[in-house]
Amino acid sequence: MRRNWKIRIFIGLAIVAFAYVQRCTNKEENPYTGRVQNISMSTDQEIAIGLQSAPQIAQQYGGLHPDDNLQALVDQVGNKLVNNSVARETPYKYEFHLLADDQTINAFALPGGQVFITYALLSKLNEAQLAGVLGHEIGHVIGRHSAERIAEGNFWKTVSVGASVGADAGDIVGSIGQNTLLTNGREDELESDDLGVLFMLRSGYDPEEMIRVMEILKEAAGPNQVPEFKSTHPDPDNRIEKIKSAIEKYKNNL
């Protein structure tokens, strides 16, 4: 019995060690942000995941909006941001989708360049504010945030398996992994805000409008309502100061 327990410990430690070695091996520097990340997939895989997921995601928000003129505006602003930024140098295939949902305030990006905004959010924005939202989402794509979260999730899943085999502690380790993912997600949002400010400046938009976007998101939440963006983004108040710092940084350097 004791021998079996030792074997379980050994196997568990081996699985955990494998996860850490794999994590170190997967480290690479993002050529567009300069940040070293844990990435376990290629850009082609990111593009494939985004393209495969896009139709299902769109259906969850009532499908695509039928107004061609509004879609053309989203395309125009999105492509302008891409063409005037480092985004044009990336291998990603940027596509901008206006969703029909007129109740949910949200915008998000899938890996590989699929960017979405709901009509509920678009209807509250002017063109410069739209540029701020789309620039932020392009920042997620360039920052490879989805790929990073997937790699981090796989790492913690493997560690959790090793811990459960060795000491039945998988739930504890899994909880640590979930908290780590949440923290990384908040940092991702701040990095995307920073990139969004830069993309706005390079495309001729007033980056101060990004601050107004944060105020719009805060107003949309109201005293009791919790909109969709609150589940995936830090509180707008926490982002405004960072955005102001980014504006000063890039205005002085451009």
Q: What is the average pLDDT score of the chain? A: 79
More confident residue, 155 or 128: 128
Q: What tens digit of pLDDT does each residue of 150-205 get?
A: 766 654 454 454 455 444 433 433 433 333 333 336 788 889 999 999 999 999 99
Contacts 24+ apart (CB under 8 A), 97-100: 97/54, 97/58, 97/64, 98/64, 98/65, 98/67, 98/70, 98/71, 98/74, 98/122, 99/58, 99/61, 99/62, 99/63, 99/64, 99/65, 100/61, 100/62, 100/63, 100/64, 100/65, 100/66
pLDDT at 79: 98
Task: Report whether 216 contacts 171 (CB < 8 A).
Answer: no
Q: What tens digit of pLDDT does each residue of 94-124 get?
A: 999 999 999 999 999 988 999 999 999 999 9
pLDDT at 180: 36
Q: Examine the pLDDT at 49 and tell me if it is beyond 70.
A: yes
- Percent of the chain scoring above 90 in pLDDT: 46
Amino acid symbol at 132 = G
pLDDT at 183: 38
Average pLDDT over residues 3-26: 52
What is the model's pTM?
0.77
pLDDT at 179: 39
